Structure 1
């Protein structure tokens, strides 16, 4: 949790800001001006609120903190992908990615600084989890990546995926609060149908998403279709086995009707055989999933996994298609700057 000396001004609603300004003898409309600076055209310090008097800006800085995320470094990939390192007010670093295609501009955002799940194929999994990102820090990531999209490609973001550093469902309240602000007319006004939250599989919290009637899409990072193999690469499977995840996903769908996607990275000689594909088909039929994303593996320094040969990938895909699985091969973007799936580690 982020520790601050003064209250974070972005914890205040518009009504609470109006009350504050009334107590210091200022007009009510000042609250709306400040609210716009905080959310619609976010600034990193009070001095940037140029339609306020210097005296009023000083009063705000004395009363409140503004722990905004700042862009620290941005790398440009040969394929047009941008990876940004952001710095928090307490000095931590976290990464986010802008992935452009002809039809879309997608922000891949992080929810934690580091990660506690230790997935064997993921660079972030080899880092310690320092803390959760606060809701406004997650919002800042999206705003900063949106600015990049407008500056580089002349167009706003079309989609957001919570597939960066950390496990979103282990930062549940902040992720949902950030999405609430991202989709609010007082925020970015983005449709929740254009947001996907990806989880390594926290069954209890998947059920909670159903109870909370969320409107965004859900993706499960599966990567193996039986417990023995999944346990080997994803320790979270010990406490969240495949059966519990299938039950939770069905509950989520029953409550929300929202799209569910399976994410499956192919690892050479580990989960790429036709027997693995057969098990995957069997599992796919247990859940009303819309899509199976087969993902190209991206090598990292700490792991010995390799990418399968193209022939193996083609056979695997063909088997799924023959068995009426709605499957898509997701080619990696930004590999040359360590921005691809599983590579985020503040390098």
Structure 2
């Protein structure tokens, strides 16, 4: 009976060295292969051009290499690039490169589909197929970084886990991916330039505090009382606003890391000055750095609409008047369904 093949990217450099010595190869081959696995985003052993054909064949017999590949790419008129990635077994997930003058940001996914069913989000209407593995998440970032270098001649400056899926329901893989992304033998990016966004899993937010993570945290709040939040985000049933306030305070106490509130404005739902007052009360109970007000991007499944510009301005000014550090985040990539809440693997 043949042995079960191991994913080669679960091996450390030292374990790869042991493997090459065991098959009668020189130890330095391990570093060559390790660089192909992590520093040059290739999708197969065959692409490892400085390794002999026989050795590549041996590797393919002994290991799997389930790398993500780019299935399709769409370019927005504003410079945003959306990529649909294909897993080794044919599942699809999406990631976005968002360029500005100062930043090149990768918005990455952590799951194939999502189980949370948020009413305003296209991904929430998809079935969750499975979690992405840590190396698949790493591939998303590496491939988007390659795009950034090719198109803009600049490396990624920031990463946000705001794509498909709930990162804290894929806790272990997300943290392992961030470890590798920020490692010197990975992409070497500072964890301070990485933001993990959660719909609010209180227990796992506390877990992040216990693990003393170094990255930033964003909470997708989107409504400032439990009744409204329950209507649009079913996760609020088991993770109400008070439990999230407690979890965020615990996270901050343990890490001192930056916390942001994300708040999408929906017309005649959460955009009144009374809603702003409730948001201010929550903001004052947490050492948050920022409230990100987000433009709503309509999707075909949901009935929500975007508020008029005057209403958005009034909401923003009210927050600023009450000493809330708020920023209005304009959506990018709307024409290719790459904006916030629009990722849905369209055009399969």
Q: TM-score range with shorter-chain normalisation?
A: over 0.9
TM-fit CA distance, 1:173: 0.3
Matched, 1:298 2:283: no
> Which secondary structure does the structure 2 equivalent of 1:166 belong to?
coil
Distance in 2, Cα, partners of 1:292 & 1:42: 35
1:1-347 matches, within 5 Å, as 6-347=5-346
Greater CA drift, 120-129 or 21-30:
21-30
Is the contact made by 1:36 and 1:42 (CA closer than 8 Å) also made in structure 2? no
Distance in 2, Cα, partners of 1:149 & 1:333: 16
Is the contact made by 2:41 and 2:143 (CA closer than 8 Å) also made in structure 1? no
> Which secondary structure does the structure 2 equivalent of 1:94 belong to?
strand
Distance in 1, Cα, partners of 2:65 & 2:322: 53
Is the contact made by 2:113 and 2:124 (CA closer than 8 Å) also made in structure 1? yes
> Which secondary structure does the structure 2 equivalent of 1:219 belong to?
strand
Is the contact made by 2:105 and 2:158 (CA closer than 8 Å) also made in structure 1? yes
> Tell me, which stretches of 5 or more residues in structure 2 are unaligned?
none
Greater CA drift, 177-186 or 20-29:
20-29
TM-fit CA distance, 1:171: 0.1
Distance in 2, Cα, partners of 1:5 & 1:100: 42
> Which secondary structure does the structure 2 equivalent of 1:120 belong to?
coil
> Which secondary structure does the structure 1 equivalent of 2:147 belong to?
helix
Normalising by structure 1, we get a TM-score of: 0.98
TM-fit CA distance, 1:42: 2.5
Distance in 1, Cα, partners of 2:101 & 2:56: 43
Which aligned segments of 4 or more residues in structure 1 are displaced greater than 3 angstroms?
A: none
Greater CA drift, 321-330 or 49-58:
49-58
Distance in 1, Cα, partners of 2:46 & 2:270: 55
**Residues 30-54 of structure 1: CA deviation (Å, up to 9, x unaligned):** 1111100100113111111111111
Normalising by structure 2, we get a TM-score of: 0.98
TM-fit CA distance, 1:5: 5.6
> Which secondary structure does the structure 2 equivalent of 1:90 belong to?
coil
Greater CA drift, 74-83 or 4-13:
4-13
> Tell me, which stretches of 5 or more residues in structure 1 are unaligned?
none
Aligned length: 344
**Residues 139-189 of structure 1: CA deviation (Å, up to 9, x unaligned):** 000011001111111101000000000000000000000000000000000
Is the contact made by 2:134 and 2:177 (CA closer than 8 Å) also made in structure 1? yes
Distance in 1, Cα, partners of 2:152 & 2:120: 32
**Residues 96-118 of structure 1: CA deviation (Å, up to 9, x unaligned):** 00000110000000000000000
